[in-house]
Amino acid sequence: MKELLIHAGKVHYKVTMPTRLAEEVPEEMKEGEMENVLLAWVSVEEADEENPEYVAEKAVEDLAKVCGQVKAEGILLYPYAHLLFGSEPASPEAAIKILKLMEAGLKARGLNVRRAPFGYYKAFQVECKGHPLSELSRVIVPAEEAEKAEEAPQVYYRILTPEMKLYKPEEYVFKPGEEEFKALVEKEALKKGLKGGAEPRYLAYCKKFGVEWEGFSDIGHMRYGPEATLLFDLISDYADRLAGSLGIPVYRVKGTNMFNLAVPAVRQHAELFGGRLYTIKSGSRRLVMRYAACHQQFAMVKDWIIGYGDLPFGVYELADSYRLEQEGELLLCFRVRKLHMPDLHVFCRSMEEAQEYALKIHRKIYEEIGKLGRTYVSLYNTTEEYFEANKEFFRKLLEVEGKPVLLCFVPKKYYWVINVEYNIIDELERPCEIATFQIDVGNAERFGISYTDRDGSRKRPMIIHTALIGTVERYLFAQLDTASKNEREGKPPSLPLWLTPIQARVIPVSARHLDYAWKVYRQLNEARIRVDLDDKDESLPKKIRNAETAWIPYIAVVGDREAEKGTVTLRLRETKEQRETTPQQLIQEIKQKMEDYPWRPLPLPAQTSRRPSF
């Protein structure tokens, strides 16, 4: 059962129409008003049907306690199914029974109680008191689940060094150079508050390139202007390319973004994900919006005929995914409600093979963040049992890290045995998870995925989940945060050449140099370089300033001398260096830096004079 409790100065409700689930009630129940009241919005769940008396009793105890704390004069029980996320509603009969038990239990304690009818559309008005206890939420679990929760071991943290020594976080002595790791430990293990408070500089960069929140949607959804769309598409292309870099076959698939919670495998996996589920209704069906590509890929692979020799292989999709992040935690690019996960699942024959490919993935993840001039500090979620039995695997992981990691030991209730979260420390000194991998030992059985072994027996594969560079949005965040750190160090903020929207700009000194400027432009454009031409009637210094403000790395100025010699005067934004070169030499230089990276054409008109202000 889920409850939302509001201490209200006044509540008024009135039935407007019945649904097909409406209970029969007397007319006086169809409208009500109470003052100084504890309003309890109540959602009864399917699991509550197993022990309705226990759930009702626990709810009554809690409501009576809160009513006394806030000094309310009465309680209004208000059925409200909209609190259910990731769980099935109880049957109408069970829900009504539990609500009636709660009503009777509260009245038996001498409390003034009213119950709004179940199964009706109702208009209501609420005046919330607004004090610290006036808005509360509760989850009441059945007896069996409560016992399990009490028996479950608590998570605890240890620091693991490359020498395979374990330390309690509060006893570890951080060495010089471990400042970023210390920030991770303080946040995750020691639960210290995050630093920051100032607005991160990268948000200005987002605005510059047209990365924004979409105000016409639900909160937490983004939109992309022309240059931002190019960034998104290039990162997507790059993630796709990386998925095929592990030396195994990778099958690219596509599918839906919503799945039926009535399917046991879907519901069980969703319950493991927790309270951040986007759910919708379609007729009588409750659907969950996918939060990664797992559902679609597993639903597809379960139908494949897989032999021993087919493994290992990968399945990949750039999956639009949905997570109901808390409103106060939303952060452009980093914590959003719609995200795009370049989700790769690697199917392996055994744990040994899964560890072999997990190490390859681990190295690839570190290689990619190194290209940004950054490193990760890592949190390894695992179980005591898995750690003790696989210390050599952990030692190899730490060889790649070259520094300590934070271990979080969890109960043996998850579908994975190890889940690694790779964090950068952002400009405000906050840990920010970007990439991830995990070894999954549960979902092959849950979704019915198997392969035929050499001896003809059917076996369940191990599954590695990974996003090598994180979500598209978080990788863009990492790029922009890197630019912000560079600016703090006195360097010009920039993106890598392959990701820069405009790689080169040709600037004629005056209008009479336009013909030669267009000739240079065509040479660069035909060589698949994102180039434009500044044909505005402005001074040369202003044109150069505009190009630098636009983060354009190569600024090619052409005048009389350059037209006569067939050259350009090249200005490099990063170093302020100036040199004379030919268009062919410039093309060769850019091409060398673009090797092994994706390319897409300029998303804007070639002439700067023909662009609107975005």
Would you call 538 helix, strand, or coil by DSSP? coil
Whole-prediction pTM: 0.76
Question: What is the pLDDT, as a whole number, of residue 274?
Answer: 64
Helix 583-594 / helix 514-526 crossing angle, nearest 10 deg: 30
Helical axes 391-401 vs 351-370, angle rounded to 10°: 10
Q: What is the DSSP letter of 193?
A: P
pLDDT computed for residue 223 by the predictor: 97
The pLDDT of residue 196 is 53
Q: Which residues of the chain have pLDDT under 50?
A: 148-152
CA-nearest of 105, 34, 108 to 75 is 34
- Write down the pLDDT at residue 152: 46
List domains and CATH numbers for the chain. Answer: 2-150 (3.50.80.10), 156-257+291-480 (3.30.930.10), 504-610 (3.40.50.800)
What Cα–Cα distance (Å) separates residue 363 from each residue in 163, 213, 311, 376? 19, 34, 21, 12
Question: Residue 51's pLDDT is what?
Answer: 85
3-class state of residue 557 by DSSP: strand
Distance CA 257, CA 565 (A): 58
Distance (Å, whole) CA 204 – CA 202: 5
311 vs 37, 302, 307, 546, CA distance in Å?
62, 14, 7, 53
Q: Tell me what pLDDT residue 150 has.
A: 46
Distances (CA, A) of 27 to 18, 31, 116, 285, 538: 13, 8, 11, 31, 77
Contact status, residue 603 vs residue 230, Cβ threshold 8 Å = yes
Q: For residue 6, which phi and psi values (nearest 5 degrees)?
A: -125, 125
